[in-house]
Structure 1
């Protein structure tokens, strides 16, 4: 047997059954995105070895983003990590037909982990204060969780959660676009350029996610395969695309300029080793004096 057998191996009954779901084409697309995410993870990790250990922070965070995303897309390509929810709006088009739509909750688990990492990449670049970073990440998590809860609700109340998520996103967008740029400006024109490029890229793409949600999990306007393509393209641009821009922008920026001080045992001398070597040297001098004294005594005798 050849080809993609994921839908046969993992069917469309998973405590509940769905009649509005992805096809083999959707599964193939998810696997393709998984491959790109995994490949870029290797690229980001490989590029980190061109930097000293103390300068690899942004490589590590960015590689973690695409690594988690590759696992999520492997799960969706395998037709796992989903549940079926009754749609609010049934459609007559055969591609959206069916009253039980497949909802991939694993997508939101991915976003719950990766979007805070992405914001950490951004907000550390501009030197935003730690309390502000934590609050922005909290609002981001509210945005993701309300999106998930809304997707799992069959009634019109889903749009209430959608509204909460959009309001939280507006706070995140304001913090990135206005507050972040104000701090980045203080750190120098090269840092401001990198931050602005990555920040505008991210916020523009994130503005499209609520549209994708409204057309798929929310309004059942587009079929599940189109949902896969819409979210997949956005994720490819928002994760590997963002990572490439960020790593390129950081190529000549040392993390110390951002207020980050990371010790590297290969380049930073250890106070303990210095103290120990100093004791050995002083002991050697003392022993030398003792041996000289002993020699003088013996010659005198």
Structure 2
């Protein structure tokens, strides 16, 4: 399948994707696609009001599937002059950064909503994940040594994210219980380790031109599969028996509030679904 994709969409950069790299990307796309279908079915098997974390996962997996379909088809890139180790241009895959721009904040949101962190801290952490991705994209597109300045900005944002995940998050009050705290510690350590490996991969590929584009795809692909389908399935499994009412994730819809008041005025008990909303 890789041969056909590269024949239809031939690369015009000096350092470019090989047919074996395209084959691997099709395999990663299949993993994302299967995981997406599984989570969609899982979400609809749950009662309304307990699907928020599953719906976040659906968005992440859908975005990842689109990105890997594009990269496997040799689309979504632009040639940029290399700084080190040779001359010519290298394929820079901006579609990957579009995927990360959506996926990284949502992965953090998925994790941090289970903690007792205030919304202001969660918002700032999500913003730092956007700084991390944008810094990487701009750095990859800059052909001169100034790219490493953006790399430092991204590293600073990453240290902030680690501080929240590994220090502040575990020390909050977990309203959903100790089991969620234990699952959070494992998930946050796992995600933090993966976030450490992304900048190393960037320095060896887009930054330093040390490894080939195909090796870059294999490295990033493994990280994305571990941070996407594997992480999300594990985290959702840990939440399978959690009491969603304990998270306090009411939708805040006016219709829900109206229904809640009407039922009380009529003397009927308020239902859990009305209290929790449709999140």
Q: Same fold (TM over 0.5)?
A: yes
Matches within 5 A, 1:162-201: 162-185=151-174, 187-201=176-190
Q: Which ranges in structure 2 are unaligned for 5 or more consecutive residues?
A: 268-279
1:32–1:227 distance in 2 versus 1, CA, 3 Å: same
Q: Partner residue of 1:125? A: 114
The yes-or-no answer on 1:247 pairing with 2:236 is: yes
Inter-partner Cα distance in structure 2 for 1:268 and 1:157: 53
Q: Partner residue of 2:84? A: 89
- Shift in Å, 1:11: 1.8
Residues 132, 154 of structure 2: 8 Å contact kept = yes
Deviations 1:256-282 (A, max 9, x none): 212222489xx999358759989xxxx
1:53 aligned to which of 40, 48, 73 = 48
Q: Partner residue of 2:92? A: 103
- Count residues in correspondence: 265
The yes-or-no answer on 1:9 pairing with 2:8 is: yes
Residues 54, 263 of structure 1: 8 Å contact kept = no
Inter-partner Cα distance in structure 1 for 2:156 and 2:264: 56
- Shift in Å, 1:3: 6.5
Inter-partner Cα distance in structure 2 for 1:209 and 1:113: 16
Q: Partner residue of 2:16? A: 21
Residues 127, 259 of structure 1: 8 Å contact kept = no
Inter-partner Cα distance in structure 2 for 1:176 and 1:201: 10
1:272–1:180 distance in 2 versus 1, CA, 3 Å: closer
Deviations 1:20-48 (A, max 9, x none): 10011111111111111011011111111
Q: Partner residue of 1:256? A: 245
The yes-or-no answer on 1:142 pairing with 2:131 is: yes
Larger gyration radius, structure 1 or structure 2: 1
Q: Partner residue of 1:294? A: none
Q: Name the TM-score, length of structure 2 as normaliser.
A: 0.89
Inter-partner Cα distance in structure 2 for 1:222 and 1:113: 26
Residues 72, 106 of structure 1: 8 Å contact kept = yes
2:58 aligned to which of 63, 72, 89 = 63
Q: Secondary structure of 1:19's partner?
A: coil
- Shift in Å, 1:184: 4.6
1:65–1:184 distance in 2 versus 1, CA, 3 Å: farther
Q: Partner residue of 2:224? A: 235
Q: Secondary structure of 2:240's partner?
A: coil
1:218 aligned to which of 207, 213, 228 = 207
For the aligned residue pairs, the C-alpha RMSD in angstroms reads: 2.3
